[in-house]
Amino acid sequence: MTAVKTDTISVVIVEDFKLTRVGLRCALNANEDIEVIGECENANDGLTMIANQVPDVVLMDLGLPDINGIEATIKVKEINPNIKVVALTSHDREEEVIAALSSGATAYCLKDIDPHKLADVVRDVATGVCWLDPEIAQMALNAFPKTDNIGLLPSKGQDENRVPLTEREFEVLKHLVAGKSNTEIAKELIVSVHTAKAHVCSILQKMCVNDRVQAAVKAVKEGLV
C-alpha cells in the first residue's frame, strides 16, 4: 500500500479566467510540497468543492462573475475557519482591494506575482502567516487621505485613543504595511528575527488586532503610516 503524503499543502483555485487558472496550477504544481487538488471558474462551484475537499489553502479571485470573491471568502471562513484564503486581484481595482482587506483572507496578492513568490506565500499562509503584497498596501495608502497628525505617540492636543507605539514599533509597522516578513524586518532594522517578532507581537497587542493584515489595514485606515 502506498504511503500517503501528509506534508503536502493542498490548494483549490477559484478563478474565472481559464488561462490564469492553468498558469496558477502549473506554477504551484511545480513545487513538490504543493498540490492543486481542484479548480473552479465561479464561486458557487468553488464553495461546493471547498466544502467537499477541505483544502489547506484557497486561491480566490476577487472579481468572480457570480458571487464575488469577497463574499466567497467570507463563506469559505464560515465553512471552515482553518482554511486559509489567498485573495488574488488585479492592478486596476482599487475599490475592490480596499473592500477585500476586511474579508478575512490571510494574504492579498496581485495576479502578476512571481510564481516562486506565490509558492512561498502559499507555504507561509498554510502555517498561519499573514501576507500583504507591497503594491496592494500602497494602493490602500493612496486611497485613504493623509492627515496632518500621523504620529503614533500621544502628544498634547492629540487624541488620547491613538495607539501608543514606540518609535521603534512605528518603524516596524511601516515595514509590516509594506508586506515585509519578520526576517526582512530584522534585516532592515539590523536586529534578530526574535526581536522583530517581539515588536510585531507588541504592535498587534497594542492595536487590538489578531494578525499582521488587520494591523496593516488599521494603520492605513487610521492614517498611522
Domain ranges of the chain: 9-141, 146-221
Edge-first strand listing for the sheet containing 34-40: 34-40, 9-14, 57-61, 84-89, 107-110, 131-132
Cell 498558469 locates to 23
CATH number corresponding to 146-221 = 1.10.10.10
The confidence score (pLDDT) of residue 2 equals: 41
Q: How far apart are CA 16 and CA 8, in angstroms?
A: 25
- What pLDDT tens digit does each residue of the chain (225 aa) get? 444 445 899 999 999 999 999 999 999 999 999 999 999 999 999 999 999 999 999 999 988 888 888 889 989 989 999 999 999 987 556 666 666 666 778 888 888 889 999 999 999 899 888 788 877 777 666 655 554 443 444 443 444 455 678 888 888 988 888 777 788 888 888 988 888 888 888 888 888 887 777 788 788 777 776
- Do 98 and 140 contact (CB within 8 A), yes or no? yes
The confidence score (pLDDT) of residue 213 equals: 76
Helix (H) or strand (E) holding 170: helix 167-177
Closest CA to 146 of 208, 196, 212, 219: 219
> What is the topology classification, in CATH, of domain 9-141?
Rossmann fold (3.40.50)
The confidence score (pLDDT) of residue 96 equals: 65
pTM here is: 0.66
SS3 159: coil
The confidence score (pLDDT) of residue 3 equals: 42
- Classify 104 in phi/psi space as left (phi over 0), alpha (psi -120 to 50) or beta: left
The confidence score (pLDDT) of residue 6 equals: 56
Q: How far apart are CA 34 and CA 12, in angstroms?
A: 11
Burial code (b: 16+ CB inside 10 Å, e: under 16) for 139-166 equals bbbeeeeeeeeeebeeeeeeeeeebebe
Summarised one tens digit per residue, pLDDT across range 87-131 is 998 755 666 666 666 677 888 888 888 999 999 999 989 988 878
The confidence score (pLDDT) of residue 105 equals: 85
E-assigned strands of the chain?
9-14, 34-40, 57-61, 84-89, 107-110, 131-132
The confidence score (pLDDT) of residue 91 equals: 59
Summarised one tens digit per residue, pLDDT across range 13-34 is 999 999 999 999 999 999 999 9
